[in-house]
Amino acid sequence: MSRALLPKHVAAVVKTQKDPLKALEMFNSAKSEDGFKHTALTYKCIVQKLGHHGEFEEMEKLLSEMRDSVNNALLEGAYIGAMKSYGRKGKVQEAVDTFERMDFYNCDPSVHSYNAIMNILVEYGFHNQAHKVYMRMRDKGLESDVYTYTVRIKSFCRTRRPHAALRLLRNMRDLGCDSNAVAYCNVVAGLYDSGHCDQARQLFDEMLARCLCPDVVTFNKLVHVLCKKGLVSESEKLLNKVFKRGVCPNLFTFNIFVQGLCREGDLDRAARLLASVSREGLCLDVVTYNILICGLCRNSRLVEAEEYLQKMVNEGFEPDGFTYNSIIDGYCKKGMVPNANRVLKDAVFKGFKPDEFTYCSLINGFCRDGDPDQAMAVFKDGLGKGLRPSIVVYNTLIKGLCLQGLILPALQLMNEMAENGCQPDIWTYNVVINGLCKMGCVSDANHLVDDAIAKGCLPDIFTYNTIIDGYCKQLKLDNATEIVNRMWSQGMTPDVITYNTLLNGLCKAAKSEEVMGIFKAMEEKGCAPNIITYNIIVESLCKAKKVNEAVDLLGDMKSKGLKPDVVSFGTLITGFCKIGDIDAAYQLFRRMEKQYDVYPFVFGKLLLHCAISITDALHYALRLFHHFPNPDTFMHNTLIRALSLSQTPLLSLHPFIQLRRQPTLFPDSFSFAFALKAVANSRHLSPGIQLHSQAFRHGFDAHIFVGTTLISMYAECGARDVFGRMPVRNLTSWNVLLAGHAKAGELGLARRVFVEMPLRDDVSWSTIIVGFAHNGCFDEAFGFFRELLREGIGINEVSLTGVLSACAQAGAFDFGKILHGFVEKAGFLYVGSVNNALIDTYSKCGNVAMARLVFQNMPVAARSNVSWTSIIAGLAMQGYGEEAIQLFHEMEESGVRPDGITFISLLYACSHSGLVEEGCGFFSKMKNLYGIEPAIEHYGCMVDLYGRAARLQKAYEFICEMPVSPNAIIWRTLLGACSIHGNIELAELVKARLAEMDPDNSGDHVLLSNVYAIAGKWKDVASIRRTMTEHSMKKTPGWSMIELDKVIYGFVAGEKPNEVTEEAHEKLREIMLRLRAEAGYAPQLKSVLHDIEEEEKEDSVSKHSEKLAAAFGIAKLPKGRILRIVKNLRVCGDCHTVMKLISKVYQVEIIVRDRSRFHSFKDGSCSCKDYW
């Protein structure tokens, strides 16, 4: 007789079966057995089995069946099992629904059910809901048990209320429950997590003293909390205490410790701990290896990670996806994508199937490596292999494309997402919006926000902050303010980042009143300012020269519990230094050192300003340095740098020697680089050799900056033999020596080094081309460029910009056009620096129309400050002042912020177009709107502006009121204006000032001589000429160049005759006769020496170099071609008249670029309108 099938038999089979669906099949087959009926026990077991494996659909069917088959009052165990299964999978709402259904189906939940659901809610952070469940349980009159209180304690600890948990623990006995080790460990963990380590230790010892020892599972949970906090050593102490009481750690304990050590970066200890596991009688598993491999990868120890991967395989473990993905991701983050591909290839061979994480890592790696094409190829490869990309994969690729500035492909990918059923989320939109803003396309980014809203994707605070930041960087502050108002209208409260961004934009625009207004509004609307806010306010007030008001803010910061930082004090120190109040800066420093811990940094800032930034304050810096008790390396370096740039650079060796003598300080790479620069500037070889020896001893001779400065120093000191004695000479050392000779103007030596180089790269070619171009040897620069093309070496942007610079300086328009065509064919038009060089070349060759065409063809996002400044400067040189101003306004509207050089070009444009009022306005705007402190060049432009407009007295008064000492160039500019307008008295006064500053300058004597000559004061002229002769002063010879058939021809006044000059003189004589006959030309002889015959005077002015160049051009160029002439000095009045007449009589257009501007002669008139 066979034994009857009992419920306990079915329950046992269900529990032991690993496959949940097979267990369900057996469960269902038992129903067909005669006399068998499932009970609450069997239902409970199958519900737990299905729930544990995530088969929730089948589990719900059985729950429904169970309610119909068994008395519901007996089914609490099954419901609890279902809730716990949902909880383990993070399905909190489903667990709550199961709990709520118990009442509905007449199964009154006991304290156990309440405990189960409360624990799930606490685990997932729903603490308020857990509290409500607890109050509901109390209202129903159910008594809490020890597990209830333990869950409550856990909730208190996780909401960072450990002392409330401790009170409950103390009261448990009064509440009718004895506390257990689990409750104690939860409170101990809470105290540690909140930083109350001493109390936690005491409580742990109290627990052990009460003979409450946690089991290994409870202890593991405690250790896990401590290790996450980085308290691994503390965990070890607790382990020793419980180990003595018989608690043996299991593999999970060791895994927690290994993970904790990896988090701390103590990977060597983690590896030793892993090796000790087997000695404790435990077997390692895949998880243990994965933890260590992941830690090694995160710390870039990828070779070791691969070694452990191999060790893992050798010991019979099969690496899983986490193992391979950790190593692949590690290599990708380090920029070693080929290694990642190698690991992936090996993994695939062993059966690994790349998943979403794998593809994300590779995509991210290629994007970081600057190879978006490969990233896209990986994405497409994944699609081909059945990958269904999630939002994470798409976002990774879109982010990578945006980082490379490829916004259009990123937007196209966004559209593909939607087509493939994967809707972009706000993170996707934020990435693209951020990319657009970084490219300056803020309006497009704003439109994208509207698109997101239209598609149901609501922008978050990051979205709006990004747009506001974009507008602020473009100084479109009205638009930024509008976005803030939009946030309020949409119910989104701006945070401190929002306000800080807007305040920073207003600060950069030097709108100090608006800054203070927004700051007050921010506080009124309940947004508490942080230290960054105050630092912006301090900077704004300092820019407005209200430094004392900024200092008063320190008290306000203190009252709000904020501590001023190094930025606060650094800004205040800078503010005082910029208004020239060094004493106030020092007093602030003394006050600050007693109250705040920012002493060395701020002193270094003060020292830096006195040493480098403020004119004539180096002596103050030296006094500060000597009074400071313990100057650090940075302070020594500051002084070394300042002295190296002074008139006595070798004095910088004193602070360097002092630094070397300090027992606790050591020179760094900056110390050696600055000291070597000082030696190079002084051209004293002996101390340079000693410094080389010291650098070698300290291991800095191979440092890239020190090594480069060393070779530069030897080149400056003319010590090529030292280079010859170097045991190892690599390409870098050759290039630096070449650059040293080129920079020093030693072109013969540079050529010799270039010829002797065993190997040349693109840097070598760029250096020789740029060196010859910058030293005025344009033919040689062109020759090297042609040789570079013949050699077939890849041309880079440096060599291109170098040869374009040569074209610009030589006025080689035809050669420049050929280069332009080459640039287009070689694909260099996308390079901003090459476009800028083309604009400069065409501008300086007199073809501003071509310069504008290059500028207009540049992508809007690619137009940098340099691009705008170059085209404005080009228009300025042509005398197109109004057009330059219009272009400047377009620059402002585009969001590109002008700098000091932009304003130099703008003031130059106003000066050469007689736009005095406009120039004054821009000078004021530069200071007040853009916060740019005028440099000596800006003051020079203003003097030139007044001088050309014949407002000489105003120019003189402007110089006298300058806040900085005028240099010789400023006075010389005014002297030139006096020469043009014949103001003898002022010219003599200015010349007296120049005699004090630069007595041997021949140009100043010539200018004053011209003033006397025009006034007919020939005795004074003779006196000046006699002084020049006695002091061996020579007038700078005038020269002119003209390009014919891509060859540059040069003419110098008074040079020895040759075939070219003879031809030019012959043609010029013919031209002068025709001008006299047809145009009534009469030479202007006012400034020519009075003691020579009239015919000699005429001969003297007729042989000026620009006339010879024009004559040679007319003789050689076919009719209809434009003559382009470059002149090194200002065109004299007679030559200006001759050029106008030639253009009319010979029907030819002549473009002359003199020292200060372009003159376009056509049909008898000049583009300068005789205003130059």
Domain ranges of the chain: 863-933, 957-1036, 1041-1166
Query: How sure is the predictor about 132, in pLDDT bands with cuts at 50, 70 and 90?
Result: very high
Q: Write out pLDDT tens, residues 1070-1098.
A: 988 888 888 888 776 554 443 333 343 44
**Mean of the per-residue pLDDT values of the chain:** 82
Q: Write out pLDDT tens, residues 545-589.
A: 888 899 888 888 888 888 888 788 888 888 887 777 777 877 777
Tokens of 739: 């650059």
User: What residues contact residue 215 under an 8 Å CB cut-off, 6+ apart?
Assistant: 181, 247
pTM score, whole prediction = 0.54
Q: What are the C-alpha distances in Å from 599 to residues 561, 591, 604, 618, 906?
A: 20, 10, 9, 21, 42
Lowest-pLDDT range of 84-93, 522-531, 743-752, 848-857: 743-752
pLDDT at 157: 92
C-alpha angle 849-854-857 in degrees, rounded to nearest 5: 120
What are the backbone angles phi and psi of residue 835, rounded to the nearest 5°? -60, -40
Query: How sure is the predictor about 884, in pLDDT bands with cuts at 50, 70 and 90?
Result: very high
Lowest-pLDDT range of 252-256, 347-351, 832-836: 832-836
Q: Which of 453, 455, 454, 460 is nearest to 431 (CA)?
A: 460
The yes-or-no verdict on residue 747 having pLDDT over 90 is no
pLDDT at 554: 85
Q: Write out pLDDT tens, residues 771-791.
A: 887 777 777 877 887 787 777
Contact (Cβ atoms closer than 8 angstroms) between residue 950 and residue 600:
no
Q: Which residue intervals of 172-285 are DSSP H helices?
A: 181-193, 197-209, 216-228, 232-243, 251-264, 267-277
Output b/e per residue, 542-575; b: 16+ Cβ within 10 A: bbbebbeebbebbeebeeeebebbbbbbbbbbbb
User: What residues contact residue 829 under an 8 Å CB cut-off, 6+ apart?
Assistant: 823, 835, 857
pLDDT at 1092: 34
Q: What mean pLDDT is predicted for residues 878-903?
A: 87
How would you classify residue 266: left for phi > 0, otherwise alpha for psi between -120 and 50, otherwise beta?
A: beta
β-pairing, 1123-1127 vs 1047-1052, is unpaired
Q: Which of 1084, 1097, 619, 1161 is nearest to 878 (CA)?
A: 1161
Contact (Cβ atoms closer than 8 angstroms) between residue 5 and residue 30:
yes
Query: How sure is the predictor about 1023, in pLDDT bands with cuts at 50, 70 and 90?
Result: low
Contact (Cβ atoms closer than 8 angstroms) between residue 465 and residue 447:
no
pLDDT at 602: 62
What are the backbone angles phi and psi of residue 699, rounded to the nearest 5°? 80, 20
Q: Write out pLDDT tens, residues 316-334.
A: 888 998 999 999 999 988 8
Beta bridge partners of 1048: 1043
Tokens of 1172: 């130059």
pLDDT at 795: 67
Q: Write out pLDDT tens, residues 158-209.
A: 998 999 999 999 898 888 888 889 999 999 999 998 889 899 999 999 998 8
**Alpha carbons 624 and 587: distance in angstroms, whole number:** 12
Query: How sure is the predictor about 620, in pLDDT bands with cuts at 50, 70 and 90?
Result: low
pLDDT at 152: 93
Q: 3-class secondary structure for 356-394?
A: HHHHHHHHHHHHHCCCHHHHHHHHHHHHHCCCCCCHHHH
Q: Write out pLDDT tens, residues 464-509.
A: 999 999 888 877 888 899 999 889 888 889 999 999 999 999 988 8
CATH number of 957-1036: 1.25.40
The yes-or-no verdict on residue 932 having pLDDT over 80 is yes
The yes-or-no verdict on residue 223 having pLDDT over 80 is yes
User: What residues contact residue 156 under an 8 Å CB cut-off, 6+ apart?
Assistant: 162, 164, 165, 168, 190
Q: What mean pLDDT is predicted for residues 400-423?
A: 83
Instruction: Give percent above pLDDT 90 in the chain.
Output: 16
pLDDT at 1097: 40
C-alpha angle 670-675-680 in degrees, rounded to nearest 5: 125
**Alpha carbons 656 and 216: distance in angstroms, whole number:** 62
If one compares 1055 and 1021, the residue with the highest pLDDT of the two is: 1055
pLDDT at 1029: 63
Q: Write out pLDDT tens, residues 968-1011.
A: 888 888 877 887 777 878 878 877 777 777 666 665 566 666 66
